[in-house]
Amino acid sequence: MTQLPLPYYNDDPNSFAYPTVHKRWPTIIEGCIKDMKNELESDPKLENSGSDIITKLQDLLVSFKNDEEVKPFDDAAIKLNPSLARYNESLVELNKTKKVTWLTGPWLNLECYLYQAINQYFISSEESYWHDFDIFENLKNQTFQQSELGALELCKRYEVLTTQLSKSLEKDTLKLLFSEFIDISLWGNATDLSLLAGNVTLEDIQSVQGEANRKKNEENILVNDLSEAWEYLLKSEAKEKRLDIVLDNSGFELFADLIFSLFALDSGLVSEIHLHCKQIPWFVSDVMPKDFSILLKQLIDPKFYGSISNKENLRAISAVQERITNYHKSDKIVIKSHPFWTLDDKYWTIPKFDDLYKDLLASNLVIFKGDLNYRKLTGDVQWDPTTPFTTSIQELATSKLPVLSLRTCKADVVVGLPKGLNEELIEKYKSMSNEKGEFWSSSGKWAVISFSDGRN
Ligand code: F6P
Ligand code: MG
């Protein structure tokens, strides 16, 4: 392997790491403390064990503020969650370059470490109630509720699609539909709860849901390798094709991914879809297997809806719900989770994880949703923005895994841009009254669709 560029560090004021660490992380943890206090009110028996967790969260906040050294997980923690041993190995490696502290260490590793540390507080409690408690669940549910209009629009679109698909379609029409539903799934990623800890309002989030807005945002897709991915998928002679999606966020994004999945199955493009979830609460809003079941229940719960709860709307929504449920029951939609997705590993180490690698090799296309997946694909290092995607993903480009990344840009790293475009966007973002033009790539307003067939 050639020498990699340096990672993004938390003390770099020109990196989006800086505001993330100084503002978002504390806000997220303060939110957890507040939600814990509410939870304790609901059951006095939880008082002692819950206060214990609150103290740990408060200590974590203090260790940020004091820029303390990030400590390895102890044996008891590793016993409860063996993946943490891998974090300790990576800490040993990182400490060789410089002592890893909260406010100066590498952004990606520490952000992953943070969510593992929070999870540890819950799973190590003597009170079993907390062991599979998801501190972000209320937030996930609330935000999906506020996306009801967006979700309804997708259900109505699906109704029309059903009639379109009842006729046999030309290849070109199918390609257009593929591109439309990929777009739905891509922009679904702009609804990210962890952004709520910054200065993005709910109105901002709703403004990326809906057809009109997706059309408007079309020109903000800076790299678009979708045609290559489409050709690759069609080229395969396999009669039964399998598509995998490494999911990102719950709620509206998951719903958008499921609408895309329905399209891919109903059109006969693929015969199976495997959805990869996280095993622990992750980056606030990421999908855990139970979030899939929760979403299916919410969709048919009339109490869940506000302004749109008339009969006709509810019928359109429950038709979609039924379809997803049936595919799930017949194993055409398969829900999976693997501890790899909550490690701090770059994705080019996937081939070292035998079981996961073998499983993914059976797929005809692996879609990686969202920003964090993109950061892990490209290693979250300071690539020149004109670096080809296939260079940035290192060994993954020759791993035989066909990779398609759908990402709205919410962090620094970006690759595959034509020469000069980054500079143009820096100027443009500045002219939009933003102090740091470089933060265009963290604003969530632009997107990239990048593909590698894994056979470089
Ligand atoms: O930018 C803040 C942040 O928490 C990033 O660290 C992370 O990559 C992103 O938000 C999460 O976005 P997504 O849900 O698209 O992966
Ligand atoms: Mg996420």
Instruction: Phi first, then psi: give them for residue 88, nearest 5 degrees.
Output: -65, -40
Tally of CA atoms within 13 A in the half-sphere of 225 that contains its CB: 23
**Strand bridging mode 333-337 / 447-452:** unpaired
- Taking residue 180's Cβ as centre, other Cβ atoms within 10 Å add up to 15
Ligand nearest to the CA of 369: 1
Distance CA 82, CA 385 (A): 36
Tell me what pLDDT residue 237 has: 86
Ligand nearest to the CA of 413: 1
Across 4-18, 44-58, 195-209, 268-282, least confident range: 195-209
Q: Measure 135 CA to ligand 2 centroid, in angstroms.
A: 15
Tell me what pLDDT residue 201 has: 62
- Taking residue 326's Cβ as centre, other Cβ atoms within 10 Å add up to 11
Q: Domain residue spans in the chain?
A: 16-133, 137-452
Kindly state the tokens that stand for 394: 């290192």
* Chain centroid offset of residue 349 CA: 19
The atom number, within ligand 1, closest to the CA of 407 reads 15
- Label residue 207 by pLDDT band (50, 70, 90): low
Identify whether the C-beta of residue 138 lies closer than 8 Å to the C-beta of residue 35.
Answer: yes
Q: Which fold has domain 137-452?
A: Rossmann fold (3.40.50)
- Which protein residue's CA is at the shortest distance from atom 8 of ligand 1? 372
The atom number, within ligand 1, closest to the CA of 373 reads 16
Distance CA 421, CA 176 (A): 27
* Contacting residues for 255 by C-beta, under 8 A, at least 6 apart: 144, 147, 151, 154, 188, 295
Tell me what pLDDT residue 212 has: 72
Partnered with residue 333 across adjacent β-strands are: 273
The atom number, within ligand 1, closest to the CA of 249 reads 14
pLDDT > 90 in the chain, percent: 84
pLDDT tens for each residue of 293-327: 999 999 999 888 888 878 889 999 999 999 999 99
In the predicted structure, residue 227 carries a pLDDT above the cut 80: yes
Q: Which of 10, 252, 254, 371 to mutate to test the pocket of ligand 1 (most atoms within 8 A of CB)?
A: 371
Q: Which CATH code is given to the segment(s) 16-133? A: 1.20.930.60
Kindly state the tokens that stand for 31: 């939110």
Tell me what pLDDT residue 185 has: 96
pLDDT tens for each residue of 390-406: 999 999 999 999 999 99
Find where tokens 């690698």 sit: 357
Q: Measure 262 CA to ligand 2 centroid, in angstroms.
A: 22
Mean pLDDT of 431-439: 96
Q: Measure 288 CA to ligand 2 centroid, in angstroms.
A: 11
Q: Measure 111 CA to ligand 1 centroid, in angstroms.
A: 10
* Contacting residues for 187 by C-beta, under 8 A, at least 6 apart: 208, 209, 213, 214, 217, 256, 408, 447
Closest CA to 414 of 450, 453, 383, 449: 383
Across 203-212, 223-232, 342-351, least confident range: 203-212
- Label residue 166 by pLDDT band (50, 70, 90): confident
279: three-class secondary structure by DSSP:
coil
ipTM of the complex: 0.96
Q: Measure 286 CA to ligand 2 centroid, in angstroms.
A: 5
More confident residue, 1 or 149: 149
Ligand nearest to the CA of 287: 2
Tell me what pLDDT residue 50 has: 98
Ligand nearest to the CA of 444: 1
Greatest Cα pair distance, the chain, in angstroms, is 64
Q: Measure 248 CA to ligand 2 centroid, in angstroms.
A: 5
The atom number, within ligand 1, closest to the CA of 192 reads 14
Q: Measure 28 CA to ligand 2 centroid, in angstroms.
A: 14
Q: Measure 308 CA to ligand 1 centroid, in angstroms.
A: 30
pLDDT tens for each residue of 253-285: 999 999 999 999 999 999 999 999 999 999 999
Distance CA 203, CA 438 (A): 24
Distance CA 381, CA 58 (A): 31
pLDDT tens for each residue of 83-103: 999 999 999 999 999 999 999
Provide residues with CB under 6 Å of ligand 1. Answer: 16, 20, 111, 189, 192, 194, 248-249, 283, 370-372, 375, 410-411, 442
- Average pLDDT of the chain is 94
Q: Which of 187, 282, 283, 375 to mutate to test the pocket of ligand 1 (most atoms within 8 A of CB)?
A: 283
**Strand bridging mode 242-246 / 365-369:** parallel
Q: Which of 115, 192, 380, 440 to mutate to test the pocket of ligand 1 (most atoms within 8 A of CB)?
A: 192
The atom number, within ligand 1, closest to the CA of 198 reads 2
Q: Measure 164 CA to ligand 2 centroid, in angstroms.
A: 33
Q: Which spans in 207-334 are helix H?
A: 211-217, 226-235, 252-266, 289-299, 311-329
- Label residue 202 by pLDDT band (50, 70, 90): low
Tell me what pLDDT residue 192 has: 63
Ligand nearest to the CA of 370: 1
Most confident of 140-144, 164-168, 364-368: 364-368
